[in-house]
C-alpha cells in the first residue's frame, strides 16, 4: 500500500485519537494528517461540513481517507482485540428504513494486504446511541446481519460519497456481544463530547460493567496503536 495515497486519518477525539498518534510516533517518513472527530452521527457530520482541514483534503481528488478507532462486536466470532475492516456501514432511520454506504473496495483490499490477512472484513452498523445491553447487541447482529457497531462510520461515508474521495475503515473491537456495558448514553453531549462528571457517576453505578469496559478499551487501544504503526510503517 502506498502510504501517500492516504492523506488523512479520521479518529474519534480522546483516547482513540491519542492511541493513533502514539502509533504514528513509531512511523518514519510520510505521515498523513490525523484529525480528531466528535462521537456520534450528527456531531460527526456537522464537524466534517465545517472543518477547514477537511476542505483542504477535498481540494485533492486523488486523496484517500482512512477512519480508525474502536468498535463493539455484535457477533460472537468477533472478540476484544480483533481487527476489522469495513466493507460497508448501515444506518437505521427512526422509520425503520435501512441505509447503506460502502467503503472503497480497492483501499480495503490494500489495507487487508498490508495487515497480512489479520483483519476480518465486516458489515458495520452505525448507531446514534451507545448499544450497551448484550441482548440488544445480539438482537441487532441477527436482525441486521451486522458484525460490529460504531457511532460515526456511516456519517463519514455519507459525507465523502459526493466528493469522489475513497474512504476505508479499520477498527479494533473493544467490547464483545456477550456482556453488558455501563449505560453511558446520558453522559454524551449533543456536540459529541463526554461529560466527565456524569461519566464518573455512571461508571460508579455499574462497577463490574465499568471495569469490563475499561479493560476492553485498554486492550483495544493497545491494538489500535499497533495497527497504526503497522499500516504506515515503511517497508523496504
Domains in the chain with CATH codes: 3-179+221-232 (3.40.50.1580)
Report pLDDT for 75. Answer: 98
CA 82 – CA 155 distance, rounded (Å): 23
pLDDT tens digits, residue range 33-64? 999 999 999 999 999 999 999 999 998 888 89
Q: How large is the C-alpha radius of gyration of the chain?
A: 17
Rounded to an integer, the average pLDDT of 145-166 is 95
Report pLDDT for 193. Answer: 86
pLDDT tens digits, residue range 94-105? 898 999 999 999
pLDDT tens digits, residue range 61-95? 888 999 999 999 999 999 999 999 999 999 999 89
Rounded to an integer, the average pLDDT of 149-178 is 95
Report pLDDT for 234. Answer: 77
Report pLDDT for 105. Answer: 95
CA 120 – CA 98 distance, rounded (Å): 23
Contact 87, 125 (CB under 8 A): no
Burial (CB < 10 A; 0-12, 13-18, 19+), residue 184, is buried
DSSP state of 235: P
Closest CA to 123 of 74, 160, 66: 74
State the pLDDT confidence band at 10, using cuts at 50, 70 and 90.
very high
Report pLDDT for 126. Answer: 98
Rounded to an integer, the average pLDDT of 13-30 is 95
State the pLDDT confidence band at 118, using cuts at 50, 70 and 90.
confident
Closest CA to 154 of 41, 65, 74, 13: 41
The answer on pLDDT for 236 being more than 70 is no
State the pLDDT confidence band at 117, using cuts at 50, 70 and 90.
confident
Mean pLDDT of the chain: 93
Report pLDDT for 235. Answer: 63
Rounded to an integer, the average pLDDT of 219-227 is 98
Measured in residues, the chain has a length of: 236
Report pLDDT for 7. Answer: 93
Closest CA to 226 of 73, 64, 83: 83
Task: List, as one string, the DSSP characters of 107-169.
Answer: HHHHHHHHTTT-SEEEEEEE-SS----HHHHHHHHHHH--SEEESSHHHHHHHHHTTT-EEEE
Closest CA to 220 of 69, 85, 74: 69
Amino acid at each position: 500500500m502506498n502510504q501517500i495515497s492516504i492523506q488523512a486519518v479520521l479518529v474519534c477525539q480522546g483516547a482513540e485519537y491519542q492511541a493513533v498518534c502514539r502509533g504514528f510516533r513509531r512511523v518514519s517518513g510520510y505521515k498523513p494528517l490525523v484529525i480528531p472527530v466528535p462521537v456520534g452521527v450528527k456531531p460527526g457530520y456537522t464537524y466534517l461540513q465545517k472543518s477547514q482541514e477537511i476542505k483542504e483534503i477535498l481540494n485533492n481528488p486523488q486523496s484517500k481517507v482512512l477512519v480508525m478507532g474502536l468498535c463493539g462486536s455484535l457477533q460472537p466470532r468477533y472478540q476484544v482485540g480483533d481487527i476489522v475492516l469495513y466493507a460497508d456501514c448501515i444506518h437505521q432511520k427512526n422509520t425503520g428504513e435501512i441505509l447503506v454506504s460502502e467503503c472503497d473496495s480497492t483501499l480495503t483490499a490494500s489495507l487487508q494486504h498490508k495487515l497480512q490477512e489479520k483483519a476480518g472484513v465486516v458489515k458495520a452498523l452505525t448507531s446514534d446511541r451507545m448499544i450497551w445491553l448484550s441482548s440488544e447487541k445480539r438482537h441487532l447482529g441477527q436482525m441486521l446481519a451486522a458484525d460490529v457497531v460504531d457511532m460515526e462510520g456511516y456519517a463519514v461515508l455519507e459525507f465523502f460519497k459526493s466528493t469522489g474521495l475513497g474512504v476505508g475503515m479499520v477498527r479494533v473491537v473493544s467490547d464483545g456481544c456477550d456482556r453488558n456495558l455501563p449505560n453511558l448514553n446520558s453522559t454524551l453531549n449533543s456536540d459529541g463530547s463526554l461529560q466527565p462528571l456524569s461519566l464518573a457517576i455512571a461508571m460508579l453505578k455499574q462497577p463490574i460493567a465499568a471495569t469490563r469496559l475499561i479493560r476492553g478499551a485498554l486492550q483495544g487501544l493497545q491494538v489500535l496503536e499497533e495497527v497504526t504503526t503497522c499500516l504506515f510503517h515503511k517497508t523496504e
